[in-house]
Amino acid sequence: MTTTTHPLDFLFHPRSIAVVGASQGGGMGGGFLPSIVEMGFKGPLYPVNPRYQELHGLKCYASLRDVPTDVDYVISSVPAPIVPQLVEDSALKNVRAIHFFTAGFSETGDDERAELEQTVIQRTKELGIRVIGPNCMGLYVPDAGLSFTPTFPKEKGNVALISQSGANASEFIGAGASRGLRFSKVISYGNAADISEADLFDYIAEDPETEIVASYIEGVRNGRGFFEALKKAARRKPVAILKGGRTEAGGRATRSHTASLAGPIKIFEAVCRQAGAIRVESMDELIDMIIAFKHVKELPGPRAALIVGGGGRSVLSADDVAAEGLEVPHLPEETQAELREFVPIAGTSIRNPIDANMGATGDQGVKTLRITAAAPNIDFVLYSGWFGGGGPGRPPWTATPQAGQAAQPSGDRQPPDAREAAQRQVEMLASVQRDVGKPVILVTSPPASAMAFQTFNALQEEATRAGIAVIPGMRRAALALARLLRWQELRED
Amino acid sequence: MTTTTHPLDFLFHPRSIAVVGASQGGGMGGGFLPSIVEMGFKGPLYPVNPRYQELHGLKCYASLRDVPTDVDYVISSVPAPIVPQLVEDSALKNVRAIHFFTAGFSETGDDERAELEQTVIQRTKELGIRVIGPNCMGLYVPDAGLSFTPTFPKEKGNVALISQSGANASEFIGAGASRGLRFSKVISYGNAADISEADLFDYIAEDPETEIVASYIEGVRNGRGFFEALKKAARRKPVAILKGGRTEAGGRATRSHTASLAGPIKIFEAVCRQAGAIRVESMDELIDMIIAFKHVKELPGPRAALIVGGGGRSVLSADDVAAEGLEVPHLPEETQAELREFVPIAGTSIRNPIDANMGATGDQGVKTLRITAAAPNIDFVLYSGWFGGGGPGRPPWTATPQAGQAAQPSGDRQPPDAREAAQRQVEMLASVQRDVGKPVILVTSPPASAMAFQTFNALQEEATRAGIAVIPGMRRAALALARLLRWQELRED
C-alpha cells in the first residue's frame, strides 16, 4: 500500500489479527475487538477467550493455538502471568508482532514483574516477534482498519502521533479531531520494552502518509538512537513533542506509569533544539502547535496585527502576544488614516490592537481586515472575537438566548444561523489571507455554553476547510505562533 | 438598605434614573433601559430621547429638563459634544451622579477631546455631581435593580468586581455566573476621570455585602490613594487583581482604551504584595482565583495528593502542580499498603499521583479518596477526571454517544443521567472534605462537546451547592492554589 520498505512497515497493515483476552462489553481490554470491527479491518479477525463461543458476531477460540490459520498481529489483554505462554503460542502461529495492552510489568516497580518483562522480551527477540508495549493502547491506523476506540474518525489524515500514553493519545485524537485533524498513524507504545521512540521516529520520518508529527514521551530508552531518528524526522517534517516528567514530581510519576526515567528536562530540550523539533508543555499546546504547522505553516516575521472585539480584551491580548516575544507595532499613520475614513473615533481603537468592526463581514468588516493586514509593518493577523464563546452580554450560564438580548449594548453579533455566519466569517478571513499573502489566525473564546459549542464547531469546520488556523484564546495562539517562529529559526541553523 | 455611610454609598442604590440617549433595539447604548427594566429597578425610570414618544412601555422625554421630577442618577449615551449641555441639565434636576457610557474623550488621544473631558469633570465637580467614566458600562447591582445587560443573574451574591473595562466586566460576570459566582456590586469605570479605583476600593472595603473582591485595572490615577484603599480592602477581604498593560505593547493599548498610563508591572506587583492582594494575568485566572477564595478559602500547606484518571495524565498533572511550586510527595508506605488491599497492581498507580478508581463513587472510590486525603503528608486533594471533558474514547467531535461506546477500553464512566452522577460525585468529594478536614478540589477538563457541556454544568452547579471548588485543567488549578498559598503568606507578614 505504501512505497516505504522500512523494517517496521509491516506493523501498520497486518494481514490478520487475533485479539487474545477479548471480552464482551466494557472494562479494560474489551474495546479492541469492537474498535477493529467498527474501523472496517479487511483481513481475518480472531477473538480468543475460552469463556466465549462467539464475540461481536465472530467465532471465538479458546486458545491462540486453536486459530485455524497463521496470525500476523496479536493484541494481548491477558494478565501478565499468562503472557509467557501466549508468546510460545504466537511463535506456533508465525505471529510477527504482539501488542501487549497487558500491564503489570516493570511499571509496577515490583522486581519480579520487571524481570518477567525482561524474560518475555528476551524470548520474543529470539523468536523474531516485535513487541508494542507492554502497558499501552497500541495502534490507531484508520487506513488499515486498526483502532483501540470504536469512535475515532474512520477518515485518514496526515498527522502522526507517537505517544507512550494511551489516554493521552485518545485525548489528542479526540480533541484534535474536533479541531479538524485527521491521522495517518497513532502509536501508543507504553513501556517501550522492544519497539522504542527511536524506532518509531525513524519509521515516521520515512512514512509517505505522514506530513506532521506529534509526540508524547516520558523517557528515552536509547539517547543516541532517539536523537538520530528525531533529527531525521524533523528534517523532513514539522515535529512537536510534549515531554512528560519535566519536573522531579512528574519524573517520579513516569516511573510508575511506563517505568521511564524522565531525565533532566534541560537535556531533553537541548536534544529537541539540535534535532529541529519544538517542545511543548501540555496537551492543548501540542494540538495548537499541530494546527499551526498545518494551517499557518510559516510566519513571515514576529509583527502581529490584533483585531479584537472590546477594549479590555485588546489590552489583555496585546499583553499575551507581547509576553510571548511577538511584536504589536502601531500601524503606520497612513494605514490609520485609511481606517479612520470609515471608523468613528468614539469607542474604537485603530492603532493596533484594532478594536473596530470585529465580527462584521460586510464592506466595513472586510475593509478593516484588508487594510490592517496590508500594512507594511505587519507580518500576520490575529483576528479575535467572541465566536463560540460566552461573549459580553451573552449569558453563558443558559443554553438558549433570552428576551431582550437583541437590545444588549455590545459585542454580541451571533446571528440565528451559526453555520451561515461561520461561513461568511471564514470566507472573509481566507480571502484576505490569500489576497494579501499573510497568515490570518482566528482566535476564539473557548465555548462557554452548549449553544456556543455548536457555533464554535461550525466555525472550526469551516476554518479547517478554508485552511484557517483556529486557536482558542489569545495566550495559546501567541504561544503557538512564537514557537512556530522559533521552529523556523531552528531549521535555518 | 446597607448600614455603611460611605460617601459613595448613594451611587449603588439610586432612587430614580434617567437614561439619556435611550433607544430601541441593539447598538451601543441601547441596552441600559431594557437591562434596568429586566433587573426590576423599583424607582422611577425616565427614558430621554427626542426621537421617541415611548420606549419599553415608558414615557420618553425629549430632554432631561422635561422630566417631571428630580433625578438621582443619569446614564448618558449621547455623543461627547452634547455632554456639556447634559451636565447643565443634570444640575437643574439635582442629579447626584452621572454614568457616562459616552466615549470619545481622552482615550482617543485627540487633544481637543481630552480637553473636553477635563472641562466636563471640572464642571461636574463645581456642581457636586459625581461621575462614573466616561467610556464605560457603569453599574451592575442586582440587589438595586441596576444592570447594563438584561441577561445577567438577578440573584445577588458576595463577589464585587471593580473593572475599568466593560467587556471584561461582562466576561467576568458571564463566565463567573456559569461557574456559580453571584455578585454584590460590579463597577465598570472606564477613564476614571472622577471616581477612581482608589475611591472604589475604599468603598468596597466597607461594603458589608461584599466578601470577595476581583478587579481589572489598566492604570492607577493616584498611586498613594490606591495603595491605601487597596490595603484597607485586602486586610478585610480576599482581593485578586488582573492588571491590563503588563507589557509595553499592552501599556500602549491601555492608552487607547481608557487613556491609562499602565506603568511598570514590577511596581504594580510590589504594591499588590505590600497591600496583601494577589495579582493574576488573565480573565480565566481571575475567575479561578475567586473560586479558590470562595470555596477553598485556605490551604493547610503545599502538599497535594493527585487522584487522576490515566497514567499519562497523572504524569502531566504532577508536572503542572510541581511547576507551580506545590509538592506531590509519595504517599507513606502505610497509606500505599492500605490502598493496595483493594487496588489491583496492574494498570494502576498508588504512590501519588493515584491512578485508581477515578470517577468511581462506590465503596472503592470513596475508600481511595478517603485513605488518600487522610495521609499524614497530604494537605489537600486534587481530584481530576474527564468529567464534562472529551475523555479518552468519548468522541468530542460528535454531540451524541455512539454505538459501541460502552465497550471502550478506558476512562469513560459517564452514566446516562449526568445530574445524578454529578450529585453522587460531588457528595463524595464534599463528605471527605468535611470528614477529613482537608480541601478537595475538583479538576475537570474543559467541556469538549455540547453534551459534555451539560455534564460540566451539572457538576459545576452541584459543586457550588456543596462548597467544592471546580477548576478546569490541572495547570489552572495548580496556579490558583499556589497563589492562594502565597496570598496566605502575604497576610501573615
Place of cell 439619556: B20
* Yes or no, beta carbons of B113 and A405 under 8 Å apart: no
- Name the amino acid, one letter, at B116: L
Which of A110, A390, A450 lies at the smallest CB-CB distance from B450?
Answer: A450
Contacts of B253 in chain A (CB under 8 A): 314-315, 317-319, 328, 349, 353
Give the number of other CB atoms < 10 A from CB of residue B178: 22
Q: Within chain A, how many helices (H) and strands (E) appear?
A: 15, 17
* Yes or no, beta carbons of A315 and B453 under 8 Å apart: no
Q: What is the pTM of this model?
A: 0.93
CA B28 to chain centre: 24
State residue A125's pLDDT score. Answer: 98
CA angle B323, B327, B329 (to 5 degrees): 130
Which of B151, B390, B408 lies at the smallest CB-CB distance from A393?
Answer: B151
Q: Give me B110's grid cell.
A: 485627540
Which of B174, B282, B312 lies at the smallest CB-CB distance from A394?
Answer: B174
* Yes or no, beta carbons of A174 and B392 under 8 Å apart: yes
Question: Alpha-carbon distance B126 to B354, whole Å?
Answer: 66
* pLDDT 10s digits, B268-314: 999 999 999 999 999 999 999 999 999 999 999 999 999 998 899 99
State the smallest CA–CA distance between residue B487 and chain A in angstroms.
23
> Chain A interface, mutation test: which of B76, B154, B319, most A Cβ atoms within 10 Å?
B319
> Chain A interface, mutation test: which of B149, B217, B315, most A Cβ atoms within 10 Å?
B315
> Chain A interface, mutation test: which of B75, B316, B317, most A Cβ atoms within 10 Å?
B316
Which of A34, A163, A247 lies at the smallest CB-CB distance from B323?
Answer: A247
> Chain B interface, mutation test: which of A161, A218, A316, most B Cβ atoms within 10 Å?
A316
* pLDDT 10s digits, A299-343: 999 999 999 988 999 999 999 999 999 999 999 999 999 999 999
Contacts of B101 in chain A (CB under 8 A): 409
Residues 6+ apart with CB under 8 A from A60: A22, A47, A48, A49, A52, A53, A54
CA A226 to chain centre: 21
Question: Alpha-carbon distance B77 to A109, whole Å?
Answer: 69
Q: Directed axis angle between helix A474-492 and helix A283-291, to 10°? A: 60
Considering chain B, what is the average pLDDT of its residues? 91
pLDDT band of residue B3 (cuts 50, 70, 90) is: low
Q: Which of A456, B81, B375, B152 is nearest to B161 (CA)?
A: B152
Q: What is the CA radius of gyration of chain A?
A: 26
Tell me which chain A residue has its CA closest to the CA of residue B252: A315
Q: Among residues of chain B, what percentage have pLDDT more than 90?
A: 80
* Yes or no, beta carbons of A316 and B168 under 8 Å apart: yes
* Yes or no, beta carbons of B323 and A246 under 8 Å apart: yes
Strands (E) across A341-425 are located at 380-384
Considering chain A, what is the average pLDDT of its residues? 91
* pLDDT 10s digits, B107-150: 998 999 999 999 999 999 999 999 999 999 999 999 999 999 99
Are the C-beta atoms of residues B89 and B115 closer than 8 Å to each other? no
State the smallest CA–CA distance between residue B414 and chain A in angstroms.
13
Strands (E) across B340-399 are located at 380-384
* pLDDT 10s digits, A360-383: 888 999 999 999 999 999 999 999
State residue B445's pLDDT score. Answer: 83
Question: Alpha-carbon distance A221 to A226, whole Å?
Answer: 8
Phi, psi for A319 (deg, rounded to 5): -60, -50
Tell me which chain A residue has its CA closest to the CA of residue B38: A404
Mean pLDDT (whole number) for B95-116: 95
Cβ-based contacts under 8 A for chains A and B: 373
Contacts of B356 in chain A (CB under 8 A): none
Question: Alpha-carbon distance A175 to B391, whole Å?
Answer: 9
State residue A360's pLDDT score. Answer: 86
> A100 to each of A80, A104, A172, how far by Cα in Å?
9, 11, 21
CA B350 to chain centre: 36
State residue B456's pLDDT score. Answer: 83
* Yes or no, beta carbons of B345 and A110 under 8 Å apart: yes
* Yes or no, beta carbons of A318 and B395 under 8 Å apart: no
Q: Give me A218's grid cell.
A: 516520558
Q: Which of B492, B433, B491, B489 is nearest to B301 (CA)?
A: B489
pLDDT band of residue B493 (cuts 50, 70, 90) is: low
Tell me which chain B residue has its CA closest to the CA of residue A26: B407
In A439-473, where does DSSP find H-type helix? 450-466
ipTM of the complex: 0.92
Question: Is residue B479 predicted with pLDDT exceeding 50?
Answer: yes
Contacts of B187 in chain A (CB under 8 A): none
Where is average pLDDT lowest: A166-175, B253-262, B370-379? B253-262
* Yes or no, beta carbons of B409 and A101 under 8 Å apart: yes
Where is average pLDDT lowest: A112-121, A443-452, B344-353, B468-477? A443-452
Give every residue of chain A whose pLDDT is below 50, as ranges: 1, 391-415
* pLDDT 10s digits, B183-201: 999 999 999 999 999 999 9
State residue B407's pLDDT score. Answer: 30
Per the DSSP assignment, residues forming a β-bridge with A280 are A242
State the smallest CA–CA distance between residue A193 and chain B in angstroms.
16
| Residue A363 buriedness (CB in 10 A; 0-12 / 13-18 / 19+) | exposed
State residue A399's pLDDT score. Answer: 28
State residue B287's pLDDT score. Answer: 98
Contacts of A244 in chain B (CB under 8 A): 312, 315-316, 319
State residue A262's pLDDT score. Answer: 83
Give the number of other CB atoms < 10 A from CB of residue B190: 32
Mean pLDDT (whole number) for B374-402: 65
* pLDDT 10s digits, B394-414: 443 332 222 223 333 333 344
* Yes or no, beta carbons of A349 and B257 under 8 Å apart: yes
pLDDT band of residue B418 (cuts 50, 70, 90) is: confident
Contacts of B418 in chain A (CB under 8 A): none
State residue A387's pLDDT score. Answer: 67
Question: Is residue B234 predicted with pLDDT exceeding 90?
Answer: yes
State residue B139's pLDDT score. Answer: 98
